[in-house]
Amino acid sequence: MSPDARLDKTYTSVLGGYSIDYPSDWSVKPAPGPWTSGYDTQTPSDTIGNSPTIYGTSRKLPAGMSFVTWFAAYDAHRTASTCAATSFNDTITIDGALGYLDVHCSSHYLEAVVPKGGRAYVFTMFTPYTRPMFESFLATIRLDPASAKN
């Protein structure tokens, strides 16, 4: 994606309950099914683009579990299964929801995780990318937990 590429098309995820803008020459592959358990986000994600690629998904938080508790377990799992680097997260806001931007493995991917409406939303961008590029996509996201189908 060139620096002057326009995010001129919108994808709305029926399963995930969100929308995101992307360049019109990128392809979109909807998620094959809902994310209902565990910490694997790539399999139940919508796929936007093809190198660079953004994956997006969401799931209901387990009953009685806070986002902070869920995220601690998610972050521990993610850190153990990618690049073997110590976890490091910046804060980020997406559509008014405060969450985390994972930068512990930034040579491979960046990932934003935010809560809204009892759901955890995860957006991941794999290389090649830049942080400003990823943040430009994140700025277009609208979270709609009431419309999510899982």
The verdict on pTM exceeding 0.85 is: yes
In the chain, how many domains are there? 1
Look at residue 125 and tell me if it is in a domain: no
Over the stretch 126-149, which tens digit does the pLDDT of each residue have?
Answer: 888 888 999 999 999 999 999 998
* 86 pLDDT higher than 80: no
Look at residue 46 and tell me if it is in a domain: yes
Distance of alpha carbon 126 from alpha carbon 110, whole angstroms: 7
What is the domain extent for residue 32? 9-119+131-147
The dihedral region occupied by 131, where left means phi > 0, alpha psi between -120 and 50, and beta the remainder, is alpha
Over the stretch 11-47, which tens digit does the pLDDT of each residue have?
Answer: 999 999 999 999 999 999 999 999 988 888 988 999 9
Look at residue 35 and tell me if it is in a domain: yes
How would you classify the pairing of strands 18-22 and 9-13?
antiparallel
The least confident of 23-37, 74-88, 116-130 is 74-88
Q: Where are the alpha helices (DSSP H) in the chain?
A: 67-81, 131-138
| Nearest in space to 23 (alpha carbons), one of 56, 51, 62 | 51
Percent of the residues in the chain that have a pLDDT greater than 70, as a whole number: 94
Look at residue 81 and tell me if it is in a domain: yes
Look at residue 4 and tell me if it is in a domain: no
Look at residue 51 and tell me if it is in a domain: yes
